[in-house]
Structure 1
Amino acid sequence: MIRMGRPRGFDEAEAVRSAATLFARRGYDGISVDDLVSHLGVHRNSLYKTFGSKRGLYLRALRWHLEHQVAPLLDAIRQAPDAATALHRSLDAQAAGADIGLLLMAVADRAPSDPDVAAEVERALADFDQAITQALTGGSPPPSPQAPAGDRPPPAEALAPALTATVLGLHLRGRVGAPAAEAVAALAGRLDRH
């Protein structure tokens, strides 16, 4: 007689999505395995068998979040014809429900102490920098190095990390309901002049 294992009683993809939402709201340390079992509707043994550990589930949830929730925002930024439009698109995406909460939480909560999370966060920040650099240059080559230094704007690669921090900060402010439209409009106006 062949014994078959009991079929998995939960949707793994849905568990990962739900865990991403939960970790984004409460952070890694704010969630116990019992919370995960209860919230996801899975048995403790199934959780461990499928994900190995709470950390394993967290890493899967973070990777899912970056691929499915952060990547569309990056695509919108990349397609912007200029940095001002990129900032507006970032704010519009947030207003439309784009959520980069787990990335924000990972930056502060887990990246400082977990090298695997730090690597994922570093890749995501580099992707933001690249998308913003693309928006800053609009696909055009950098200004001529023969132009006097005072007439040349800083290179896009030098500005991108500051604008990445701005985008992340605007999303962070949005998490607590702080209005960001005025700040974006002021910054976008400044960027349009350069």
Structure 2
Amino acid sequence: MGRPRGFDEEAVTRQAVALFSARAYDGLSVDDLVTGLGVHRNSLYKTFGSKRGLYLTVLRWYLRHKLEPALSSDTAQLQENDTLDLLLLAAAEQAPHDREVGALVGSALARLDDVLGPDAANQLLGLRLRARINTGE
């Protein structure tokens, strides 16, 4: 029988959302993740399989627990500083060459269009992108 997991997978996933939202996939090394999440490298690989496995877990968690609630109830929450960041970074960085990420991002963008309308969704995404550029986030 193996040792029990020494970390809360849900808590680590939430922490990883913040890391990937701030620095994107390519901006984080596995060492950065290990340090930032406070988990051992072996535990990270055993639980998520790879950096990409962690990223996919994080992206799915974010879409289900952060983006969808904002779309379903309080679209004003979408204007908060970081609500759209992971979606923006995933769309720009990983979706063009990772089919699975592309499908997740495409579905999320379609949902955003359905709730806000394409023009408002594009405007909101553009404003958040500009805000990240202007503040250096």
User: What is the Cα-based RMSD across aligned positions, in Å?
Assistant: 1.9
Matches within 5 A, 1:86-101: 89-90=75-76, 93-95=78-80, 99-101=83-85
Larger helix proportion, structure 1 or 2?
2
CA distance in 2, matches of 1:94, 1:177: 16
Deviation at 1:69, TM superposition (A): 1.5
Report the 3-state secondary structure (helix = DSSP H, G, I; strand = E; otherwise coil) of the residue aligned with 2:54. Answer: helix
Choose from 8, 31, 34 the match for 2:5.
Answer: 8
| Structure 2 residue 128 is the aligned partner of structure 1 residue 171 | yes
Report the 3-state secondary structure (helix = DSSP H, G, I; strand = E; otherwise coil) of the residue aligned with 1:113. Answer: coil
Code of the residue aligned with 2:92 in structure 1: it is A
Partner of 1:43 in structure 2? 40
Partner of 1:72 in structure 2? 69
Code of the residue aligned with 1:118 in structure 2: it is G
1:39-63: CA deviations, max 9, x gaps?
1111111111100100000011111
TM-score by length of 2: 0.88
Contact 1:69-1:100 within 8 A present in 2 as well: no
CA distance in 1, matches of 2:72, 2:127: 18
Choose from 19, 28, 33 the match for 2:30.
Answer: 33
Contact 2:78-2:84 within 8 A present in 1 as well: no
Deviation at 1:162, TM superposition (A): 2.5
Partner of 1:53 in structure 2? 50
TM-score by length of 1: 0.64
Deviation at 1:177, TM superposition (A): 5.6
1:144-187: CA deviations, max 9, x gaps?
xxxxxxxxxxxxxxxx3232211211222333467xxxxxxxxx
1:15-36: CA deviations, max 9, x gaps?
1111111011111111111111
Q: Give unmatched runs, 5+ long, in structure 1.
A: 78-88, 133-159, 179-194
Please identify the structure whose Cα radius of gyration is greater: 1
CA distance in 1, matches of 2:91, 2:78: 20
Quick one: structure 1 residues 99 and 114, their matched pair in 2 at CA, closer, same or farther if it must change by over 3 Å? same
CA distance in 2, matches of 1:48, 1:168: 33
Q: How many residues align?
A: 135
Report the 3-state secondary structure (helix = DSSP H, G, I; strand = E; otherwise coil) of the residue aligned with 1:29. Answer: coil
Quick one: structure 1 residues 43 and 64, their matched pair in 2 at CA, closer, same or farther if it must change by over 3 Å? same
Partner of 1:145 in structure 2? none
CA distance in 1, matches of 2:82, 2:73: 11
**Percent identical residues:** 54
| Structure 2 residue 19 is the aligned partner of structure 1 residue 22 | yes
CA distance in 2, matches of 1:9, 1:107: 33
